[in-house]
Amino acid sequence: MEYLLHILILIGIYVILSVSLNLIVGYSGLLSIAHAAFYGVGAYVAALLALKFHSPFLANIACAIILSGLLGAIMGIPSLRIRDDYFAIATFAFQVITFSIMNNWVSFTGGPMGLPGIPQPAIFGWQINSHYEFLFLISLLCIITVWISHKIVTSPFGRVLKAIREDEIFAQAMGKNVASYKVLIFVIGAGMASVAGVMYAYYISFIDPTSFTIMESIFIISIVIIGGAGNIWGSVLGAAVLVILPEALRFLGMPSSIAANMRQIIYGALLVIFMLFRPQGFIGEYSFKK
Partner 1 sequence: MLVAIGFAIVFRATRFFHFAHGIVFTAGAYFTFLFKAWLGFPLFFSILLAIPLTTLLGCLMEVIVYLPLRRKGSSSLVFLLASLGMYIVLQNVISMMFGDDTKTIRSGLVKEGLNVFGARITPIEILIICVSVVLVVTVTLLLKKTKMGNAMRAVANDIELASVSGIDSDRVILLTFAIASTLAGIAGILVALDVDMTPTMGMNALMMGVVAVIVGGVGSIPGVALAALLLGIAQHLGVWFISSQWQDAIAFVILLIFLLFRPQGFLGKKVKKATL
Closer CB to partner 1, residue 4 or residue 273? 273
Q: Which listed residue (39, 44, 181, 267) binds partner 1 by CB under 8 A? A: 267
User: Residue 22 and residue 100: Cα distance in Å, rounded?
Assistant: 25
Q: Is 9 in the site for partner 1 (CB under 8 A)?
A: no
Q: Is 51 in the site for partner 1 (CB under 8 A)?
A: no
Site for partner 1 in 207-266 (CB under 8 A): 214-215, 218, 221-222, 225, 258, 261-262, 264-265
Q: Which listed residue (46, 88, 207, 237) binds partner 1 by CB under 8 A? A: 88
User: Residue 127 and residue 285: Cα distance in Å, rounded?
Assistant: 42
CB distance 36 to 246 below 8 Å: no
Distance set, CA 240 to CA 18, 45, 154 (Å):
11, 27, 24
Q: Which listed residue (52, 58, 59, 86) binds partner 1 by CB under 8 A? A: 86
Q: Which listed residue (4, 58, 59, 82) binds partner 1 by CB under 8 A? A: 82
Stretch that binds partner 1, among 130-138, 165-173, 198-206, 238-246 (CB under 8 A): 165-173
Q: Which listed residue (268, 282, 283, 285) binds partner 1 by CB under 8 A? A: 268
Q: Is 269 in the site for partner 1 (CB under 8 A)?
A: yes
Binding-site size, partner 1 (CB under 8 A): 47
Q: Is 275 in the site for partner 1 (CB under 8 A)?
A: yes
Residue 108 CB neighbour total at 10 angstroms: 12
Question: What is the bridge-based pairing of β-strands 206-207 and 115-116?
Answer: antiparallel
Closer CB to partner 1, residue 145 or residue 222? 222
Q: Is 140 in the site for partner 1 (CB under 8 A)?
A: no
Closer CB to partner 1, residue 130 or residue 167? 167
Q: Is 169 in the site for partner 1 (CB under 8 A)?
A: yes
Binding positions for partner 1, rule: CB under 8 A:
31, 78, 81-86, 88-90, 92-94, 96-97, 100-101, 103-104, 167-169, 214-215, 218, 221-222, 225, 258, 261-262, 264-265, 267-272, 275-276, 279, 287-290
